[in-house]
Structure 1
């Protein structure tokens, strides 16, 4: 049985047109980052021990490296190589094109859209699953191979995507469970974690499940948008 190789794709909308970027090579690893912010509560200090007070969670992030190589995958539209560069070639070969033409498609995700005036929200998919939804916050391009004429033909782009919604609860909003909200599911989320972040009570997960008609509360899909209803007294 032949298993089809699935490529990671980055889906977004640019100037009102849906765009899907497919990775030339799949990343070797994915680094998901989640963080909770705590601070000392001096008012609750007992003896020499001060309590910790939860202040919220910054947006989740996903880091990955994308590899690009146009040396081994030349552009058929390019001009033929000068035979002086490849004296041993038995057939005429097309010149590899500038790899930065491909990396720019990724770097461009940090640039504002003409319609929305902000960078696009990206959905990263790999196979059947959705890996992450968020914006590209950083893209560092490193070129590692050049032709004799200086044309860059091999590069990697280190990307860091950040979710748009932060699980933040400022000090003056710690009891704001009486306001309906929306939340985008991230990898590793559970209803109990979401309830803890939004209601400050992990036991209040059932109102979220009921409001979104979740038949199986244990099955959440990254990128899924949930309505977080206000709590009734």
Structure 2
């Protein structure tokens, strides 16, 4: 509430992780200099297109749903008009000193020395780029990221970065830059499988026999029909479908 009264805005932050687990606290957290004015989200469904010779239409068959893509524009300004962004270790939980600095910046007007030389923005942009897309020689990967802003959260990786310099000193060194970043959502394989819970009968399933399991009931739960358990017994070379050995692994072939 105090922050709201003083006009202090919660800054968008980017958490940087070395691995895809997202379990440990982030190595570093980037607090952007200015919150983006907008962002663009893209969701893409991929189809396999089949078109018979001599026809005018395509038979679209579902292939996959690609991970979410989101584009943000980040502004960097070293002229002194805007308070700089921050890069902090770990989750970067604000301290009392951080809050005090934000209060001072909120209460006092921006004062720029008209005779002084503005600092360049190159160092801040380079540090930002290295954190988001720098190659880690230990993991042989670029960073795993988590975008956090208000209620928006996305585990992702940087796909592309465009840097546009728009304001310069007399010597040609830039003091303002707009960095357009395209992030692509990423999900750990185990988490993805748990979320999707694929149980379609046109996929191959593998089940381990547990105590009191019955083949007709197992087949019915997968195929939604009680007419396939004989085929399953044949495919798994079972002598009888009436008795299953606990611990055996059975394959349930897809329905063609």
Question: TM-score if structure 1 supplies the norm length?
Answer: 0.59
Aligned to 2:12: 8
Greater shift in the superposed pair: 129-138 or 14-23: 14-23
> Cα offset for 1:150?
1.9
> Cα offset for 1:49?
5.1
Distance in 1, matches of 2:193 and 2:125, equals 28
SS in 1 for 2:147: strand
Distance in 1, matches of 2:148 and 2:199, equals 30
**Which one of 128, 131, 137 corresponds to residue 106 of structure 1?**
128
**Residues 136 and 143, structure 2, Cα contact 8 Å, conserved in 1:** yes
> Cα offset for 1:41?
3.4
User: Following superposition of structure 1 onto structure 2, how do residues 37-186 of structure 1 map, counting pairs within 5 Å?
Assistant: 37-42=46-51, 50-73=58-81, 95-108=117-130, 109-127=132-150, 129-165=151-187, 181-183=190-192
SS in 1 for 2:27: strand
**Residues 167 and 176, structure 2, Cα contact 8 Å, conserved in 1:** yes
Distance in 2, matches of 1:41 and 1:34, equals 22
Aligned to 1:32: 41
Note the aligned Cα RMSD (angstroms).
3.8
> Cα offset for 1:153?
0.3
SS in 2 for 1:56: strand
Alignment gaps of 5+ in structure 2: 85-110, 202-220, 223-256
- 1:179-220 deviation digits (Å, cap 9, x = unpaired): x942299xxxxx7xx56xx5569xxxxxxxxxxxxxxxxxxx
Higher-Rg member (1/2):
2
Distance in 2, matches of 1:152 and 1:50, equals 51
Structure with the higher fraction of residues in helix conformation: 2
Alignment gaps of 5+ in structure 1: 77-88, 167-179, 186-190, 202-231
> Cα offset for 1:96?
2.4
**Residues 155 and 187, structure 2, Cα contact 8 Å, conserved in 1:** no
Compared CA separation, residues 34 and 94, structure 1 to 2 (3 A): same
